[in-house]
Structure 1
Amino acid sequence: MGISLSRQKSSHDLLAGARRVSHDLSVVELIEEAVKNQEGVLSDTGALCVTTGKHTGRSPKDKFIVDTPAVHELISWTNNTPCSEDTFNRLYAKMKKYGEDHQLYVTDVYAGADLENRLQVKFINELAWQHLFIKQLFIKPEKKPSEKEGFTVVCMPGVKADPVEDKTHSETFIILNFDKKMVLIGGGRYAGEMKKSIFSVMNYILPQKGILSMHCSANVGKDGNSALFFGLSGTGKTTLSADPNRNLIGDDEHGWSDEGIFNIEGGCYAKCIKLTEDSEPEIFRAIKYGTVLENVHIQDKTRHADYFDTRYTENTRTAYPLDFIPNAVHPSIAEHPTAIIFLTADAFGVLPPISKLTKEQAMYHFLSGYTSKVAGTERGITEPQATFSIGFGEPFLPLSPLKYARLLGEKIDKFNTHVYLLNTGWSGGPYGVGRRMDLKYTRAMVTAALDGKLDDVDWEIDPIFQVAIPASCPDVPTEILKPSNTWNNKKDYKIQAKKLAKRFAENVEKFKGAMPDDILNAGPKVE
């Protein structure tokens, strides 16, 4: 079945009755509006600092896709929640009514740096600071966009759902309607919902055109060789792609077509917990006038940002345009990647710090999307817990996960891309016993992989995880390359390794019968 995206309901009936509509305000004007409306304050570096209330991260249980005949067979309902057209229409009517008493901000932007595959998006916002976020995160039109709209996102945090009347899970809602080409967001101020809703839309559109949409960062070397970094939150995706010796394409969302790779966004949305100029100089220096700081504590008198203060959340964020990064690529496109790096923060301390994957193993680990949570990060977690997210971004995949995995396999084959698994987590023991992998060694392994310095070394197959481990790596101590060598008690290592291998096997059980055995058998070996 082909793409089903019928002509959307015009957004103008929602705008027609609004108390006041401001079209395409500049960055300066939006900052002035936000300060005037007491939505935020300026930090001592000029960034606009805001808080988002009870939602300091995404609310995945409140995200829905409208179930219509045109999309029903396309959507993977095992990892997406349906809602009715009646629910959508009811909440749309509430937003229209709400707009009659409120000012709205409107602008058109693009998702997708590839001119042939970009999506025009109209954003309608209640809050000036959220509109500034959009202006900085997406691609600004070089000329006035066409009247033909691609998608419309309406974000009004002041509109709340009635769970009983509207058949939602709470007062918060994020609803994608592919028939009407609209997204409705209400009941929460966390700006990441807008960003990820459009990523979900692109994850619906692009794969049906044979383009792999990916939750990954990307950079490119001076020789033109590009690389992709996949990983869940906390694995180092943004950190490792911000390499002073390479140029940044983007930090989070990309497409891979037959022509090459392209950034879906025009900005960065980086974590800034414990941020220092020494640890992340590019991000630290990007926090200036025009940047949004989300849920970072600002000292009253000095307006100095305290990046170590977690009173609001550990998920503190900053949003800024790509041109705030000195070595960013413009336009943010590149040739086909010569290397893909899957990042995992293994808190069990048993995965090799770097290993090479076959195409089948790459598809297996893409379907697994493994990382681990550590004790203390969430209530009730007292020991490391394995976490799996298909494609390293399962909440944003409307289509069958197999669609994305098969596209990945085809691209790796067609463009001869090398794939590596990189453990940025623990070594020498699990969390609480071992040590976190030293960032300088991780960077050295990435550099070696991307510069071809691992091409001629000897490799050894790990007996449990079945991946290939290099015998040596420039600027990395040889003894840490094989994880069992770093444990004092080898018996404890085997117990932990086998425990994790079993969790991998249990996770891929759901793909039996849907994926070939050579892929399902490419994972860790379970006795």
Structure 2
Amino acid sequence: MTAELPLHALTAHIGLRPEKEVNVNLSSARLVEHAVIHRECCLSNSGAVIVETGEHTGRSPNDKFIVDNGTESDRQIAWGKTNKSISVQQHEQIFVKVKRYLETKELFIQDAIAGRDRQYAQHFRIISEKAWAALFTRDLLFPSDNENPVKPDFTLLHAPDFYADPGVDGTRTGTFIILNFAEKIILIGGTSYAGEIKKSVFTAMNRVLPEVGVFPMHCSANIGENGETALFFGLSGTGKTTLSSTSDRFLIGDDEHGWSPKGIFNFENGCYAKTINLSQELEPQIWEASQRFGAVLENVGFDENTRAIDFMDGSKTENTRAAYPISYIEGHVKSGTGQHPSHIFFLSADAFGVLPPISRLNREQAVFYFLLGYTAKLAGTEKGLGAEPEATFSTCFGEPFLPLAPTVYADLLLKRIDEHHPKIWLVNTGWSGGAFGTGSRIKLPYSRAMIKAALDNELAEGSFYADSTFGLNIPTHIEGVPDSILDPINLWRDKARFHQTASELIFKIRERMKFFSGSLDEAILACGPVLPE
């Protein structure tokens, strides 16, 4: 009979007994060495790690599950299409299989922290079979400041080369992302897309923080020279990272934050930027950060000989990505914190081209459009999307990552608005002059100019008018932006087609918001757009 392998100090709490070397909290340089030696990656000519994630080049939301332990706490989960349940027995079965699989591999462990404000932080132990995944973790989260590691708040097992058996394990495919909030265990298998690690951590934060009065947000945040903080809400591809990474403001973070009674704090210590068509001219900070030593590039094109990066190459996916520490962004906020925001921007990539490029929202409209979460799924950001974007509604601009009822997060937003009175803006970073395919993408310099005018309080002193289509307040003039694009109908040649397209979107909006009938203040529901008679 073979003697049982000894438990490793950092895996004993989950009963994992490694047979091979365990690499704990290695530096970025050593993780790069391991990734190269193990042939997990290529190195770019600037020292960035280039990886290919294979079949999965985006998230797999249909393969994500939450364990239903039948506890009072689990009854708070908003079970449904987004939060699909899996039984305790099925989870335990897969958990054992993943442990047995990882025990046969060389392991890379990173003890990391999510949450710059340590009062609300969560400690994650991420155990992976891939050195580059550990590097990704090190780029994105805060390194543990505990010299004597103890049991973490959450343990994440990352086994991208292990596949479940759907017929036996109760999964949909061989791919799985399973969160067990009762046991504080996260399992990821059958996918190498690193975004699953990031968003699993975010989902855990969205479960834990509301209980302590913190509003978790899918947004970027920055600070002006005057100390005023701004938030940018939006889904993948709407411009959160791009619009918050500017030379005239200081970046707190690009994607995930908490709003506590003390102010804003970043969940992360790094950025995960979309890089398709990334240019040095338009986005110099992201362009430079993405190519530095230690950055992780997913599915980007490159010259096989020179190893020069080609950000225009979307042959593998449109969802090419770069992960890098926030310290790579010049002018980032070292504290990772900010004051209560003075401005909030809701970003929507409107695929229909009917939303104004920028409009001002009142208190009720802010909650309405926050719960609506209208944008477009851009090609390749999720498995199963085709070449064309799809109009979609993602509640709270982050529905796939919200375990609790949307109104929990909306109530926290409303509480913070009433306490601190920020100015709130709806920004269309999508199309104008027509829908996708006929119109054109709103130019980035225009979006930057509109947001700068809002942040500089130039719009607060200007004049507005209510548009007849959505009832939104549109500015009459913004310096550096053609007046003609401020009202979306102006650039449509076929005005009748504009009204038809707008009516179709308004109908979808009204249908979507019926979900909240009975659970939301009628004043909020009534402030949305109305179909013309």
Shift of 1:517: 1.1
Q: Secondary structure at the match of 1:169?
A: coil
Matched, 1:295 2:299: yes
Contact 2:319 2:379 in 1 (8 A): no
Contact 2:175 2:190 in 1 (8 A): yes
Partner in structure 2 of residue 5 of structure 1: none
Shift of 1:305: 1.4
Contact 2:373 2:396 in 1 (8 A): yes
TM-score (structure 2 length as normaliser): 0.94
Rounded to whole Å, the distance in 2 between the matches of 1:302 and 1:461 is 55
Shift of 1:385: 4.1
Shift of 1:17: 3.6
Shift of 1:483: 1.7
Letter in 2 for 1:154: L
Matched, 1:446 2:447: no
Shift of 1:237: 1.2
Q: Summarize deviations over 1:92-130 as a string: whole Å, max 9, x none.
A: 111221133211111211000011111111111110010
Shift of 1:381: 6.8
Q: 2:496 aligns with which of 491, 497, 500?
A: 491
Partner in structure 2 of residue 326 of structure 1: 330
Rounded to whole Å, the distance in 1 between the matches of 2:339 and 2:379 is 41
Rounded to whole Å, the distance in 1 between the matches of 2:11 and 2:416 is 38
Shift of 1:243: 1.3
Shift of 1:514: 1.0
Shift of 1:493: 1.9
Note closer, same or farther for the CA distance 1:432–1:96 as it changes in structure 2 (3 Å cut).
closer
Note closer, same or farther for the CA distance 1:116–1:439 as it changes in structure 2 (3 Å cut).
same
Contact 1:76 1:400 in 2 (8 A): yes
Q: Summarize deviations over 1:426-455 as a string: whole Å, max 9, x none.
A: 222222332221221111110011111111
Shift of 1:372: 2.7
Letter in 2 for 1:39: E
Note closer, same or farther for the CA distance 1:140–1:413 as it changes in structure 2 (3 Å cut).
same
Once the two structures are superposed, the pairs formed by residues 315-464 of structure 1 within 5 Å of their partners are: 315-373=319-377, 385-464=390-469
Structure 1 residue runs of 5 or longer lacking an equivalent are 1-8
Partner in structure 2 of residue 3 of structure 1: none
Contact 1:108 1:145 in 2 (8 A): no
Partner in structure 2 of residue 104 of structure 1: 107
Once the two structures are superposed, the pairs formed by residues 487-526 of structure 1 within 5 Å of their partners are: 487-526=492-531
Matched, 1:229 2:232: yes
Identity over aligned pairs, percent: 47
Q: Summarize deviations over 1:192-232 as a string: whole Å, max 9, x none.
A: 10110010000001111111101111111011101011111
Displaced runs of 4+ in structure 1, greater than 3 A? 9-15, 373-385
Rounded to whole Å, the distance in 2 between the matches of 1:194 and 1:376 is 18
Once the two structures are superposed, the pairs formed by residues 250-265 of structure 1 within 5 Å of their partners are: 250-265=253-268
Note closer, same or farther for the CA distance 1:146–1:35 as it changes in structure 2 (3 Å cut).
closer
Rounded to whole Å, the distance in 2 between the matches of 1:523 and 1:383 is 27
Q: Secondary structure at the match of 1:444?
A: helix
Q: Summarize deviations over 1:360-394 as a string: whole Å, max 9, x none.
A: 11111111111135799998979874211001111
Q: Secondary structure at the match of 2:459?
A: coil
Instruction: State which drifts further: 122-131 or 290-299.
Output: 290-299
Shift of 1:21: 1.2
TM-score (structure 1 length as normaliser): 0.95
Rounded to whole Å, the distance in 1 between the matches of 2:196 and 2:412 is 26
Partner in structure 2 of residue 74 of structure 1: 76
Note closer, same or farther for the CA distance 1:514–1:21 as it changes in structure 2 (3 Å cut).
same
Shift of 1:10: 6.4
Contact 1:157 1:188 in 2 (8 A): yes
Structure 2 residue runs of 5 or longer lacking an equivalent are 1-9
Letter in 1 for 2:477: S
Rounded to whole Å, the distance in 2 between the matches of 1:12 and 1:488 is 65
Shift of 1:13: 4.7
Partner in structure 2 of residue 240 of structure 1: 243
Q: Secondary structure at the match of 1:22?
A: strand
